[in-house]
Each structure stands twice: as C-alpha cells, then as structure tokens.
Amino acid sequence: MPERGPATAPSHEPSPETPSAPQTASTPKITSARRTGLLVTFILGGLSALPPLSMDMYLPALPEVTSALDSPAATIQITLTACLAGMALGQVVIGPMSDKWGRRRPLLFGMVVYVLATAICALAPTAELLIGFRLLQGLAGSAAVVIARAVVRDLYDGVEMARFFSTLMLISGAAPIIAPLIGGQILRFADWRGVFVVLTGVGAVLTLVVWRSLGETLPPERRQTGGVGTALRTMRGLLADRVFAGYTLAGGFAFAVLFSYISASPFVVQEIYGASPQAFSLLFGLNSVGLIAAGQVNGKLLVGRVRLDKVLAGGLAVITTASVSLLLMSSGVFGEVGLVPVAAALFVLMSAMGVVLPNTNALALMRTPHAAGSASALLGTSSFLVGAVASPLVGIAGEGTAVPMAVVQLVCSLLAVGCFTAMCRPWQNRESAV
C-alpha cells in the first residue's frame, strides 16, 4: 500500500510566517492545518473506541446468541473472553511491528483482518466458529488501540501528550455508554448477526478513513531494526526500566478497578440495591460522563499547571478513598445503606479514572520515544490481562453481597499506589515536572 505523508498535529504545525511553499494567503493554510489536526484526533479517538465497541455492543445479544446457536451460556461467554484475550495478546505482536515497519502498514493490515473476521462472525453457524473468529477479531482489532497510542507518542511530547490523551478520552470514553444502547436498538430490527454487520461497517469506514487521511507518523530513521529477537530485547529493556514498569503496573491495576466495576455493577446496582434496568443505565451513563468530564478537567486545567506525578497521585488517592468507602458500606459498618451513597462512591471512583488513566499512559510513554509501539503494547496488554484476571473475582462470594467488588477494587487501588510510590518514586523523577 502506498505511503502517505506525515499526519498533521496541532503542536507540530509550522508557523504561517514561514511556509514551505509560496502562499497567496496564510488564513486558508491555518484553517486547513486545524482541520487536519481535528481529523487526526477523531481518527485516533475512533481507533481507541473500537475495543469497547467490539465488546459492549455485543452484550445485549448474548441471550439470543445462546438460543440461536443452541449452546450453553458458559460457552457463549467464551466469545467475550476470546475477544478480550485477542485484544490483549495481539498488542504484544503488533506494537513491535509498528516500531519496525511504521504505524500505517500494520494498522491497515490489522483493520482489514478485523473487518473480515467480524464479517465471518456475522455468518458463523456454530459457537465454536464464533469463538475462533472472535479471537481473530480481537487479535486484529488490537492494532487500532496499540497503534493509536503509539501515534500520539509520535506526534506529541510532555504536556501536549497528556492533554491529547485526555482529549481522546472524550471520544473513547463515550463508547462504553453508547455501545450497549446501539446493540439494543439493532436487536429491535435484526437478530444478533446484525450487531456484527454493523461492527463490520464501522471497521470498514475506519479502515477507509485511515487509508485516506492518516499518514505515516514514524519516519524511517526512527524505526527499529532486527527481527523477533530484537523486539523481545526491546520489551525486556522497557520492563527493566523501573519507572516505566511502575507506571505500566499502576495503570494496569487502575484499569482492573475499572474492569471490576464494569463486571459487577449491573448485579450490585440491580440485584442488591434493587434498581431497575433503566435506573442502572442512567447511573452507568452518569459515571461514564463523570470519567469523561474529569478527563477534560485534567487536560484543560491541570496538565501544564500541576506536575503530572502530583495529578496522578491525587487521582490514585481518590480511587483508594472511594474503594475504602465502598468496602465499609458494603460490609455493613454503617448499617444498611441505600443506593444513593453507593452510587455516589462509584461516581467518584469512576470520575477519578479520567485523571489516572491518561496520565499513566502519558508518563510511561514519555520515557520511550525510541520504542513507542512496544511501550504501547506493554501498556495495553498489562491493562487487559490484569483486568481480565480481576473481573471474575468480583462474584466469588455469590450474588448476595457487594463485598468482593469492593475488596477487589481496594486491593487493586493499593497495588497501583504501591507500584507508583515504590517504583516511580515521583519525588526523585524530575522528568515528570512538565
């Protein structure tokens, strides 16, 4: 496929007073540059939103898939696990590929395979075939999220990178809100296969837009050389960087807090506290809005005025405090509490994620300009794997208590704080003073 010119980012625009070619007027050039930067933002946001769309849009169709394919519910649940595992493991392969061959070709290859795998999912006659192609869908779709983060690292640095990650959260954070709603509406007019038809269309549109409008952001002189051995040595070197590993683990454990909320909240809110499905949908949406709003406060007000390490420390403190509150309430220390205090604690916890997640990504990637693809892969894989391990633990004590959710959230919060404090040692790390 042909290489295109470098993507335009607002922080890297040339001055209108020194154009590379004669211009009759500077205004059209400025407008074009801003439009290009906005388009790149939406493309990267769309790529980052692809994993939650692939997972959450499918959720309302699970009972129908179970019936249509005449399979046990446990077997159909594996279709979710397969996609999640593919998303986690695929990043380990595609991230180093993008460091060697550039961002554009691995991304386009992954997107084309994603579209084909999703289309086959729509035609799958058996649960086993659906599981297999959901795994392939996850493996290929991982290219979207891992390369999107690497492209951000190519285009931005320091404060601007942290701000851009917060901007991406405005787009990608909306995906978990709208995906189940879209899936439910699709089921009003089509069967479960229609969900995969729509996902196929979304993937095809993203692939076309990437091919036409997202240029190569990693020039040849900055690419890695060597084969698999070199890639593995690069990853080993990244993990040997104590500070990078600290931010990666802190972000992974924070992501596990988020995963435990997503896994347990439908049961906790509806079965234990008696909320209706409509009330749960409203609370879920409000929490997601809180996450997005906090991300914007982080990007617009905090970044550039407060050290990123201090902002991250504050976010981790809020998550830990909210987790302690949830554990105390769910274990009966305050007696019987209603839905309102629990919902308030969940809102605070989720909102703090809008500060923690973009800043752990930014702080980790600041240390890896030489291997952004591999670093992005480690960030994504650790988050998905830790989240996948934590999620089943929230129901370990059955359906009558919210204590397991609160315990998992508190333990993961404390582990995130421990990794940040012991490994990153922010009081010594002056690079994050931006």
Closest CA to 155 of 66, 252, 41: 41
Strand partners, 306: 303
- Phi, then psi, of 12 in degrees rounded to 5: -120, 15
With 0.75 as the threshold, say if the pTM is over it: no
Nearest to 87 by CA among 293, 255, 285, 266: 255
pLDDT at residue 434 in the model: 54
Residues 1, 55, 83, 128, Cα dihedral to 10°: -110
- DSSP H helical segments within 57-126, as ranges? 62-68, 73-101, 104-123
Burial of 2 (0-12, 13-18, 19+ CB in 10 A): exposed
Per-residue confidence (pLDDT) for residue 19, from 0 to 100: 35
The CA–CA distances, whole Å, from 176 to 281, 284, 292, 403 equal 11, 9, 11, 25
Q: What pLDDT shows up at residue 430?
A: 53
Distances (CA, A) of 114 to 120, 188, 196, 246, 378: 10, 25, 11, 32, 21
Sign of CA dihedral 233, 236, 242, 246: positive
Q: What pLDDT shows up at residue 34?
A: 39
Estimate the crossing angle of helix 242-267 against helix 277-297, to 10 degrees.
160
List the pLDDT tens digit at each of the 434 positions of the chain.
Answer: 444 444 544 444 333 333 333 333 333 333 343 344 788 888 998 998 898 888 878 877 877 888 899 888 778 778 877 888 888 888 888 888 888 889 999 999 999 999 999 999 999 999 999 999 999 999 999 999 899 988 988 888 877 887 888 777 777 767 766 777 788 888 888 999 999 999 999 999 999 999 999 989 888 888 877 665 777 777 788 888 999 999 999 999 998 898 788 777 777 887 788 877 667 777 877 888 888 889 889 888 888 888 889 999 999 999 999 999 999 998 888 878 888 999 999 999 999 998 998 899 889 888 877 777 788 888 888 887 887 777 677 766 555 678 888 999 999 999 999 999 999 988 775 554 45
Residue-level pLDDT at 233: 79
Nearest in space to 97 (alpha carbons), one of 13, 206, 218, 209: 218
Using alpha carbons, list the distances in angstroms from residue 74 to 121, 183, 384. Answer: 18, 21, 21
pLDDT at 236: 84
Q: How many CB atoms neighbour CB 317 within 10 A? A: 13
| Predicted pLDDT at 11 | 42
